[in-house]
Structure 1
């Protein structure tokens, strides 16, 4: 710090070890909820995918060991945003296996052998896994370079998790499946989940998604509009579209020292909750027997603020024991304006890079632009939900909300690209006369089970966290839950219809260009303006004159010779050429 990062020199006045801001009870509750969710994921994978599901569970164990080993080697300090990135990477690891197994079932149903189905399944699923993971890593790289503190922790853990999940899906899962080929298990169709499928309308049928795009857009527009209304109401009353927490606004810091035993952070929060201060940050320093309480500002009126402080001190003394107040002061925000703008700029830059990458991979701007549009849709839904919760339930946003929004960004792009990859594959094999809407409907129909299964595995982890994860991180878990639901909806009912509208606009534009009138010169050429000579009509053949009665022979002969000469001249002038023969061969060839 003294090397020039700050304009003033610093001297250390006090150094102390502090306890975690998340109490032991909250951590234990989160681990219990996570264990319940993970157990439900394992149960679902085995029941739905049978033997491949068991292979995926083993590969998920390898993934966890490899990731934790990397966290230890680098090393990585696990903050709450870092844990969120790790949870999201677990969901992506499960999604990679689901993609592979859905492709594997398609190839087995097509009549291929197990080995050929494994080869084809991995080959066809790899582009989806690669493109989605590359876009996620791009987002993480931008967040790491621009963000600071908790944002960088989230980016690091998510990037490491994505890379490791791709490695375990391609190597561990594939190797274990190949080991099952020469066994008797390879001939049992039920063990490979061929009899278990859902969300398939039947052979040759597809769900009609594109034709109802107005309905889907109306639903999205209504949800976003409601959120914007609540943002406007909050902005009118508080000056901000969301209720800012103490991380953004700052607050009051009360530092106390206990005489004997130091209470737990949860015990202190329970007392503060009686005075509508349950969201305060409580830090415990057991060596110094100190407790630091950072909460929202007290009332501006000095008398009311003093009265509230005295009531809090009395309640804390009765519940936790005797203590002395060492400091009471106002403090600034921990989530400054610079950090917030850094996160926003990181998301914007990552979106531009994602558009560029998808432009190259999909050979068109439309895929990348509509994927980012779906991403913006998900962020607006999340902001609208918290605006409504802030207005109705007085929820406040803090640094964890920023982490949840970044998690939504990473998941939304990942889910959308999987569907886009199937559309790209079907466009290459499109039959003559097939519309783009039909291709998109077929692609969504084939990937719908995968989308619901992936989102379901994340939801069965997040729902127990919301219910049993404790009050401290409940809003964070709710934000993740809303983001996953919005991302799943947008990838199916927003991104693909937007892509269809883009293609329809391009088609109409091309048709309009083809119908342009042919350009002709306004003034004709001189040769074309010259008057044409009138066609000469053939003169009738003159009749031979009869000799006059009583004429002499010489005169008659001269008249006859003159008439013959005149007739010959007229015949030569009116002679018509022979009629050309019809080109019989050419007519036969044309027929």
Structure 2
């Protein structure tokens, strides 16, 4: 790279960095496109709409309520990945949609939640199911009779999506229709139904009323269908709304709706941003001290990484919650990993006697494999979680995927360009890049039995403590209301308190009475009401809280009401999350097996991943930190962190095995020793980011940061002491079995 071109390139990078920072902070144009202010935020950050429905049936079964809550959850996710639905009392369902401000519009978009089905014109015995009335089609008999006759060909659950559309016909006239996208099972049913009913009508029944009865012109394949004959786009969109929300197990009616303020106040957001800024500065200074010129490059790359992630979140309308902000801040620490791997390699090459120019070239080349495999493995997990996860799992997956892709760009493309440009402008002395310290190979695998025993103690400790709590009449883990439900206390204060007052005055009082550090206060906009969600309170605790609120804030006790609420993470959503993680783990195992061409690498990676997850679970059990939605995000972060650390060790073992033919023990020990700097530095930078979060943020974020710090320490321990030892043990076992 010639000097003039290098100077021009550096100038462009600095301009790009300034532009990205300006875009993320301020935005472009009158609409402030790209600004952080325009990122969609969750109910905890920006507030939104809360709608409570009541079942028409007075005493619905628990099974029907659970099914309806789950289906409502899937429906409201069209507005935001962080929207949630949960049971309130015995016969109510509340949906909360972040970022929305118009309750009436949401109600209109959702439609009236009733029961939807598609029925044939007549049954197999020729009995008519519906007929034309004075103005519209009407059912000829009850829906129960029609169902028993086998005339229902599709349920609302067979429809994946429905949209009201306008299109031009062959005469260039505008026509309106509803476009249907069916599930795989629904598509199969629809092919058979339309094939058997060509020339006949199939009626769409909603809430026991026929809303459309189109004629089947031909067998419909491909999982797509269209209902034509709408009088206008509004009618088409309304019908699409009915279909999207259809096939609930219970019929619902609106009880109340309101616009609610953010669950967490400005203080929580400002402290998180401050924590991110302070953490970023500390990490950049650390990299400057350790890597000198490459440290400057790393600092610029980290700033670009942060700005790019924020702009990308804006561009793709990803809903961001407070744990998401924490995840981005954590991602800054993890993004250092690729730079550490590269710069450690450059140091090694200089120490080996190569010129600085060659060291830069070989450093990036040799680091590429470990960075690529580590990031792609984690990206595979993110893509699986996007497809199979729901709610916070899906939201986490989007943020994770964006972070991985941006990190790969800033480390492999931007950092490389900057280092080469700095060399081209005259920064050629090796002292600016540093030398790797020559370390004698440490015998890690020789102590593997001790390490395995220590890990086994930690792993067993978790289930043992959980069992002890359960046997003692308590809960195995300290489940937050997200998982186990809780109590919603609605308080009408004498004055209109803003969310900052609630955070500073009300929340600490509630935390003290309930001994719950995961209190979720929500202000109802336009009123003096605040809904305070806590863990499930006993009758005595409810009375104590009510009395405390009366004493502290002089509220009218008659204006305090309590209601039991279900878990916002339903059993079905938990099953979705578990299935998603299992499938993601299998996909990662297959990828590692394919890339390393050795099942021992893949199996050991999964065992190391399970080790880290189980140790962090034990930490949750011992510390009694609340297990809520952030628990899912924490565990998923640990999975990504663990796999990435494991791949780095395995990549070095693979490389050394190609170059050397000594004992496996010596190769593994040397590989771990060579990557020891990376393991320590990456753990330090990640720990710094999480520790700053813990120091500066609110209590609910501290409950997220604390187990993450434990996870970072565990990840460092496992990558150094467990990962290589696991591979060696499984490899030797495999070789022993093959000789038999």
The whole-number CA distance in structure 2 between the counterparts of 1:292 and 1:307 is: 16
Counterpart check, 1:265 vs 2:537: no
Q: Secondary structure at the match of 1:186?
A: coil
Which of 294, 298, 304 lines up with 1:62 in the alignment?
304
Q: Is the 8 A contact 1:284 1:291 kept in 2?
A: yes
More helix by share: 1
Q: Is the 8 A contact 1:140 1:156 kept in 2?
A: yes
Counterpart check, 1:369 vs 2:599: no
Which position in structure 1 is the counterpart of 2:432?
191
Deviates more, 1:307-316 or 1:447-456: 307-316
Q: Is the 8 A contact 2:332 2:689 kept in 1?
A: no
Counterpart check, 1:313 vs 2:549: yes
The whole-number CA distance in structure 2 between the counterparts of 1:310 and 1:40 is: 45
Q: Is the 8 A contact 1:99 1:450 kept in 2?
A: yes
Q: Is the 8 A contact 1:277 1:296 kept in 2?
A: no
Counterpart check, 1:110 vs 2:352: yes
Q: Which runs of 5+ in 2 are unaligned?
A: 1-109, 114-242
What is the 5 A alignment of 1:94-105?
94-105=336-347
Cα distance, 1:215 vs structure 2:
1.1
The whole-number CA distance in structure 1 between the counterparts of 2:261 and 2:655 is: 53
Which position in structure 2 is the counterpart of 1:353?
587
The whole-number CA distance in structure 2 between the counterparts of 1:244 and 1:180 is: 53
Which position in structure 2 is the counterpart of 1:544?
none
Which of 449, 455, 462 lines up with 1:214 in the alignment?
449
Q: Is the 8 A contact 1:277 1:295 kept in 2?
A: no
Cα distance, 1:13 vs structure 2:
4.6
The whole-number CA distance in structure 2 between the counterparts of 1:5 and 1:33 is: 46
Q: Secondary structure at the match of 2:523?
A: strand
Which position in structure 1 is the counterpart of 2:404?
162
The whole-number CA distance in structure 1 between the counterparts of 2:252 and 2:467 is: 43
Which position in structure 1 is the counterpart of 2:476?
241
Deviates more, 1:306-315 or 1:359-368: 306-315
Which of 557, 564, 573 lines up with 1:330 in the alignment?
564
The whole-number CA distance in structure 1 between the counterparts of 2:425 and 2:529 is: 64
The whole-number CA distance in structure 1 between the counterparts of 2:370 and 2:700 is: 37
Which position in structure 2 is the counterpart of 1:274?
512
Cα distance, 1:337 vs structure 2:
1.4
**How many pairs does the alignment contain?**
494
Deviates more, 1:44-53 or 1:234-243: 234-243
Which position in structure 1 is the counterpart of 2:642?
412
Q: Secondary structure at the match of 1:180?
A: helix
The whole-number CA distance in structure 1 between the counterparts of 2:645 and 2:247 is: 41
The whole-number CA distance in structure 1 between the counterparts of 2:679 and 2:719 is: 9
Q: Secondary structure at the match of 1:112?
A: coil
Q: Secondary structure at the match of 1:184?
A: coil
Higher-RCO chain (CA-CA 8 Å, sequence separation at least 6):
1
Which position in structure 1 is the counterpart of 2:121?
none
- Structure 2 vs 1, CA of residues 87 and 505 (structure 1 numbering), >3 Å: closer, same or farther? same
Deviates more, 1:361-370 or 1:59-68: 59-68
Render the CA deviation track for 1:375-418: whole Å, top value 9, x for unaligned.
1011110111111112xxxx331111121111111110011101
Q: Is the 8 A contact 1:84 1:154 kept in 2?
A: no
Which of 573, 593, 614 lines up with 1:339 in the alignment?
573
The whole-number CA distance in structure 2 between the counterparts of 1:142 and 1:475 is: 27
Which position in structure 2 is the counterpart of 1:396?
626
Q: Secondary structure at the match of 1:206?
A: coil
Which position in structure 2 is the counterpart of 1:535?
none
Q: Is the 8 A contact 1:137 1:162 kept in 2?
A: yes
Cα distance, 1:323 vs structure 2:
8.5
Which position in structure 2 is the counterpart of 1:425?
655
The whole-number CA distance in structure 2 between the counterparts of 1:444 and 1:497 is: 10
Q: Which runs of 5+ in 1 are unaligned?
A: 514-591
TM-score normalised by the chain length of structure 1: 0.80
Cα distance, 1:316 vs structure 2:
4.2
Which of 8, 16, 25 lines up with 2:267 in the alignment?
25
Cα distance, 1:10 vs structure 2:
4.5
Cα distance, 1:326 vs structure 2:
6.1
The whole-number CA distance in structure 1 between the counterparts of 2:294 and 2:267 is: 37
Q: Cα RMSD (Å) of the superposition? A: 2.0
Which position in structure 1 is the counterpart of 2:92?
none
Render the CA deviation track for 1:26-70: whole Å, top value 9, x for unaligned.
333333333322221011000000010001101111112222111
Which of 538, 545, 563 lines up with 1:299 in the alignment?
538
Counterpart check, 1:507 vs 2:735: yes
